Structure formats: C-alpha cells, structure tokens
Amino acid sequence: MVNVGIYGASGYTGQELLRLLLRHPEVRIAALTSRRYAGMQVSDVYPVFFGLTGLSFMDASPAEVAQVCDVVFLALPHGVSMQIAGEFLNAGKKVIDLSADFRLRDVRIYEQWYREHTAKTIIKEAVYGIPELYGNVVSRARLIANPGCYPTSAILGLAPLVAEKWIDTASIIVDSKSGVSGAGREPQVGTLFCEVDEGFRAYKVGQHRHTPEMEQELGCLADHDIRISFAPHLLPVSRGILSTMYATLHKDVTAADMNDLYRSFYEGKPFVRICREGTLPNISSVRGSNYCDIGVTVDGRTKRAVIVSAIDNLIKGASGQAIQNMNLMCGFDEVAGLQMIPLFP
C-alpha cells in the first residue's frame, strides 16, 4: 500500500488518474491538488465520482504534499512540473511527471521546441517511461518522464521495425489522429462541441512538439539520428489515438513476417496486442483500457510497411501508462489496477 498524491488533479488526465487509482488494490490517495478548484469536492467538478469518494481538491505546496505521499503524479502544464519536481525528489519521493519537462534528454532540443529549462540537473535522472522498452530501468527510477500520447502510439508502433533495422528510417511518416480530450478541459473556441462535431482537420503539421520525442526514442532504438514527418489530426471523439505509420522496407518481407516480428518483440508485454493478420485496430476496441493494439501490413506494390496503432490517449497515452510505471517502481504487479476490458460500444 502506497500513499499517492496527484499534483494538478483537475484536468482530464488528473481525473483519469483518480478514477483508476480509486480502484487500484495497492493505493491510498492522500492528496489531490488544484489551485482553481481548491476546497471543492472532486464530485462537484466531476460528477462521475459522486458517492464514490469524499475527496476534495486542495491548494497545497509541494512540501505539504510530500509529507503525506510516497509517490506523486505531476499532471501539470509544461514548464510548471520542472519547478517542483526537484522538491519531491529531494524529499525522497518517487515522481511520475506527465508533462514534457523531462522527456527530452538533450536540453537544447527541449529549449528549441518548448522554452527555457530551469531544472537541467534533474533531466538526467529521468527515465522515459515506456515500460515495454525500458521496463527494468523504470523499476529502479525515482523520476519518470511519462511519454506523450502521440509518441506512445508511434514509438510502440515503430519500435520493432526500427530496432531490427527492417526499414529506411529516413522514410518514416507518422499520420496521427487524436480524440479531443488530449486538448484538455480549458475552455477555448477550438474545442467547443460545435467546432469539433462532424469536423476533422490536421494541425501543426511538421511542427508539433511531440516530434522530437518520437525522434529521440526511435533514434535510440536505431542507434542513429532520425528525422520523421509527423502530422497530427483532431478526431470528433473524446478518447483515442490512432496512428498510421509508413516506412520503406529494406527487404522483401510479407505481412506474416511482420506479424511474427511484432509478436516476438512484444512477447510477454501485457498491454500490447498484435492484431491477427489481416485485421487492423480501432480506437473503439481499446477505449477505457490500457491496451495498445497494433496492426501491421505490407504494401507490396510500393515496398512499404504500413503500421497502425491504437490507444486510449487518456490511459495508455497518459494516466494508465503512468500507473503502469508506478507499478514497476513500487514492485507491484505491472497490471495492477489496469485490467479494464475496453468499453464497447
């Protein structure tokens, strides 16, 4: 049993952490902070929790939260996490940061895509928290940089091909489509129902901040620098990311070969499901779960691999993966609290 705090708990990511942690067999929730909603009951801000918890949001300092928690999740905007993560680490707490602040190992790249970094010395402590790739290191980490939602879908989708050097890494294209919850709960015209409903659009093509995160991790697997083209799109759904990835194959392989590669690469990983040959994933088949479903095809006419991956952006793309990391850091079963079957329809 660990005492857990969620710092910045009032966004969609924070409420999803809460929803999952309330049913986690090894967790007691000791603190939820939110400046905006301080003093309000969680169930007044999110009626799903009505009758299920008496917890309220508080406006507490890191020191106050550290006193009552063993593990802290930071569900804060980029730039804010870096200001307080150190304090928790100094107090000997485990920290799982859901912002981008510790994801990029090269601080220059961070500063080029985001802003000035004010906690440079901690960056090297951080472990990029994709358990399927870094499970052992995650287990020993004190600070987890929890991956971005898009990068989770892209890295899991491409890792086997890149690691095994089956593709020309200069040819990688990632075309991703995300549900709206990824944009958060802050009111803005662009995420109003009427603006999104029955619509679909691309945005920040070639300019999205998740690009360097994908390049770092794929480059790491390839053992050389990689540049990719990344185009995110906004789907008129609440949850889900589906990424379609294209890369030119170095060699003549069949879909069956690809399927074998992926199955063996992810053998024993409880949250990656490789679709049966001939079938492709759907975001509605992972909604509400921590699964990443991956379908692999070969476009024989053009010698390209086309990979499709699907996750629930709030779970495997954020809060579920954060809990998966916590499970490993705390020595719990990797799947503890995460065995939800997807909700369909």
**280 near a copy of itself (CB under 8 A):** yes
Segment 151 to 170, residues that bind a copy of itself, using CB under 8 A:
170
Nearer to a copy of itself, 92 or 206 (CB): 206
Segment 120 to 149, residues that bind a copy of itself, using CB under 8 A:
none
Segment 40 to 69, residues that bind a copy of itself, using CB under 8 A:
46-52
**36 near a copy of itself (CB under 8 A):** no
Helix, strand, or coil here: 36?
coil
Piece of the chain touching a copy of itself by CB under 8 A; list 61-69, 70-78, 81-89, 192-200 = 192-200
* Interatomic CA distance for residues 122 and 153, integer angstroms: 26
CB of 70 within 8 A of CB of 46? no
* Interatomic CA distance for residues 150 and 147, integer angstroms: 8
Q: What's the Cα-to-Cα distance from 17 to each of 8, 162, 166, 268, rounded to whole Å?
A: 11, 31, 37, 25
Out of 139, 288, 330, 334, which residue is the one contacting a copy of itself (CB under 8 A)?
288
**256 near a copy of itself (CB under 8 A):** no
**198 near a copy of itself (CB under 8 A):** yes
Nearest distance, CB of residue 62 and a copy of itself, angstroms:
27
Piece of the chain touching a copy of itself by CB under 8 A; list 63-71, 141-149, 154-162, 283-291 = 283-291
Nearest distance, CB of residue 293 and a copy of itself, angstroms:
7
Out of 63, 136, 200, 223, which residue is the one contacting a copy of itself (CB under 8 A)?
200
Nearer to a copy of itself, 46 or 88 (CB): 46
Short-list 140, 136, 138, CA closest to 128 = 138
Helix, strand, or coil here: 130?
coil
Out of 33, 152, 153, 244, which residue is the one contacting a copy of itself (CB under 8 A)?
244
Residue 47: cis peptide before it, omega within 30 degrees of 0: no
> Which residues, including other chains, have CB under 8 Å from residue 320's CB and lie 6 or more apart?
16, 20, 289, 290, 312, 314, 338
Helix 211-222 and helix 149-163: axis angle, to 10°? 20
Segment 298 to 327, residues that bind a copy of itself, using CB under 8 A:
298-302, 304, 306, 308, 310
- Helix or strand holding residue 140 (H, E): helix 131-140
* Two structure tokens written together for 246: 């294209």
> Which residues, including other chains, have CB under 8 Å from residue 313's CB and lie 6 or more apart?
149, 178, 179, 181, 182, 239, 240, 241
**187 near a copy of itself (CB under 8 A):** yes
Q: Give the torsion through C-alpha atoms of 283, 288, 290, 296, to 10 deg.
A: -10
β-strand partners of 174 = 230, 245
Out of 5, 6, 15, 128, which residue is the one contacting a copy of itself (CB under 8 A)?
15
Out of 231, 253, 311, 326, which residue is the one contacting a copy of itself (CB under 8 A)?
231
Tell me the number of residues near a copy of itself by CB under 8 A. 85
* Interatomic CA distance for residues 108 and 128, integer angstroms: 17
Annotated active-site residue 275? The verdict is no
Out of 283, 292, 294, 326, which residue is the one contacting a copy of itself (CB under 8 A)?
283
**C-alpha 135 chain-centroid distance:** 15
Nearest distance, CB of residue 47 and a copy of itself, angstroms:
4
Nearest distance, CB of residue 83 and a copy of itself, angstroms:
26
| Residue reference for tokens 């049913």 | 23
Out of 12, 73, 102, 166, which residue is the one contacting a copy of itself (CB under 8 A)?
12
Catalytic residues: 149
